[in-house]
Amino acid sequence: MPKRQRKSWRPVSEEAGFSRGVAWDRVRVAATPYLFALPVALYVGVLILYPIGQGIVTSFTRTELLSTVPPRWAGLANYRRLIADPAFWRALRITLLYTALVVSATVVISIATALLMNRQFRGRAVARVAITLPYAFPEVAAVLVWAWMLSQQFGVFNVFARTVLPVSENLPWLTDPRLAMLSVILVTLWKIFPFYSLVVLTAIQTLQAELYEAARIDGAGALACFRHITLPGIGPTLGLMTLLATIFSLRRFTIIYLLTGGGPADATKTLVIAVYDHAFRFFDLSYGSTVGVAGLLVTLGFAAAYFAIQRRLGSGGV
């Protein structure tokens, strides 16, 4: 007769402990992603979402800094004031103009610099390090140096201007409404183009060399290779880079404030500068928050347009 197999058994307490251990392991595995995401969630919630929410709430109140009067509910009064305020629309136009010029110039300069840095030449490593220096400098210190260089009285830029341009007098780079915007854009491009150049360079270096070799065998020139291989290959990177450059330009404060403070005659007064002036110069925190909410909506509009275009391209739309 076959032998009867002996059943293995464990004490009830041991089986209960084993079950609790398995359950605890499952809970720990399931909770691990949330524990890793918790610091990011706390950072976003406390330092980003809460201030944004507080600013939106403040825009519906009447709140003044350095006032003992508590905030009072104002409804849509601040937004009606915003719509009827010509200074706001002027600041919005200046913001969009500044953003358009900076972003378009950044894209062109970044692509040109990346293509140059991707070529083989003696001293390329030194050149790559050199172009990153503007981005590595502390922003406040760099902008203050530029303010000294652009000074009408003793700025070194006027020495170059009198040498290159047909002028005999020092130019008011920061005090003339027409030159102030040009100066701000120039300093902005000098500060930000290294980062975007490195981003484009990284995207170019991910392209397969076999594609260029096949194109040259077929008789394609440098311009044709750029148009049909490089540009489509780095297209997604350029799209994301354009979005980031747009968002950063819409909210740029340090460079503009340190160079011109929004002047002269509000020629460089963007929405961010307007928020600062209303909130911390005129102590009208509620209206400053309203202008800030308007700037937030403009930024979200650009982001929504970008994702809509990406979704349309991803679905094969034209």
Q: How far apart are alpha carbons 1 and 49 in whole angstroms?
A: 76
Q: How far apart are alpha carbons 230 and 225 in whole angstroms?
A: 6
Mean pLDDT of 135-145: 90
Task: Determine the pLDDT at residue 27.
Answer: 73
pLDDT, tens only, 90-111: 999 999 999 999 999 999 999 9
User: Which CATH number is associated with domain 92-314?
Assistant: 1.10.3720.10
Determine the residue type at 95.
T
Quickly tell me which residue has 């610091």 as its tokens. 39
pLDDT, tens only, 106-127: 999 999 999 888 888 888 888 8
Q: What is the pTM assigned to this prediction?
A: 0.85
pLDDT, tens only, 48-69: 889 899 999 999 999 888 777 8
Determine the residue type at 121.
F
Report the 10 Å Cβ neighbour count for 95. 23
> Domain coordinates of the chain in residue numbers?
92-314
pLDDT of 263 above 70: yes
Task: Determine the pLDDT at residue 83.
Answer: 95
Q: How far apart are alpha carbons 112 and 115 in whole angstroms?
A: 5
Q: How far apart are alpha carbons 101 and 104 in whole angstroms?
A: 5
Cβ 197 vs Cβ 109: under 8 Å: yes
pLDDT band at residue 168 under the 50/70/90 scheme: confident
Burial class of 244 by CB neighbour count within 10 A (0 to 12, 13 to 18, 19+): middle
Cβ 278 vs Cβ 284: under 8 Å: yes
